[in-house]
Amino acid sequence: MFLQTARAVIHRPSEPHVSLEVRLILDGGSQKSYISQRVCDLLNLAAVREQSLSIATFGSSKGAAKVCSIVQVGMDLKGYSPMLLSLYVVPTICKPLMGQPIAPCTEQYPHLTGLELADCSSNDLNMPVDVLIGSDYYWHIVTGNIRRGMEGPVAIHIKLGWVLSGPMSHSHSNSDCSVTNLSVHVLHAELSPSSLVHYLTSSYVVYRTTCPCCCQASQCEEANLDPGAVGLETVVRLCVLNVSLIICLVHIYCFLCHLFCFVNLG
């Protein structure tokens, strides 16, 4: 099974000569794009800001709250101007990929003949991945051109060349199956709890926000999470309670005023 991988040169935005060639993977199912801590250290990238995320692995129903740094890098493209990316820094993207015989495909499948592939590897090599391109940049890189044959993987053109996607035919597939553990990163919320409380209490507009992890402190403790960082629904409930209490106090005050006026007039 081919995953959409490519090799690209990334560099510091203000210093193009400080560059590094990395392997990236395209994942339209990811909300955001990521870069490994290893590459950040090699390029000595400085964080431009931080963002609270809930990071979960595949098959997990709960995510771990984490504050991720965001860095910016430039990426060189083929035939296009360099592209500026804002990437979330994570310890690793995934384990090295295996079972990706990209290079021989141009000879095995007629519809791939003559294509300039964006990645190149043989079946026996580990392929480390240091950048994940999510849906925020996916269609800025993918051109939309594809090549499909009677069998074999589909070729997708991106601004770095052609990437392969999908299964190999049974006649060319290897009997040995390799398993790759990909980390799935999910953006938890754009607003921090403090800014959400400020917004709700200032405008008295209440939104119900469901926390995918939990909404009670006891459940957060079992999941080793910080209730203050992920309990957005609890925050909303507290805001609802505060607004309701204020409304009740106003009604009581109005009732007492009317009662006082009625007694004086009587």
Pick the more confident residue, 257 or 72.
72
Q: Enumerate residues 6+ apart whose C-beta is below 8 A from 123.
A: 98, 99, 100, 101, 174
pLDDT at residue 12 greater than cutoff 90? yes
What token pair was written down for 245?
Answer: 């209490």
Asked if residues 171 and 165 have their Cβ atoms less than 8 Å apart, the reply is no
Q: Which CATH class is domain 5-185?
A: mainly beta
- The Cα–Cα gap between 75 and 148 comes to 28
Best-predicted range by mean pLDDT (73-77, 112-116, 187-191, 261-265): 73-77
Among 207, 186, 173, residue whose Cα is nearest residue 52: 186
What per-residue confidence (pLDDT) applies to 47? 94
Query: How many CA atoms are closer than 13 Å to the CA of 73, on its beta-carbon side?
Result: 32
Pick the more confident residue, 170 or 219.
170
Asked if residues 240 and 247 have their Cβ atoms less than 8 Å apart, the reply is no
What per-residue confidence (pLDDT) applies to 46? 93
| Across 18-27, 86-95, 163-172, least confident range | 163-172
3-state secondary structure the chain: CECCEEEEEEEECCEEEEEEEEEEEECCCCCCCEEEHHHHHHHCCCCCEEEEEEECCCCCCCCEEEEEEEEEEEECCCCCCCEEEEEEEECCCECCECCCCCCCHHHHCHHHCCCCECCCCCCCCCECCCEEECCCCHHHHEEEEEECCCCCCEEEEECCEEEEEECCCCCCCCCCCCCCCECCEECCCCCCHHHHHHHHHHHCCCCCCCCCCCCCHHHHHHCCCCHHHHCHHHHHHHHHHHHHHHHHHHHHHHHHHHHHHHHHHC
Condensed to tens digits (0 to 9), the pLDDT of residues 174-197 reads 544 444 444 444 444 344 455 444
What per-residue confidence (pLDDT) applies to 110? 86
Structure pTM? 0.63
| Per-domain boundaries in the chain | 5-185, 193-265
Among 39, 34, 1, residue whose Cα is nearest residue 22: 39
Count of residues in the chain: 266
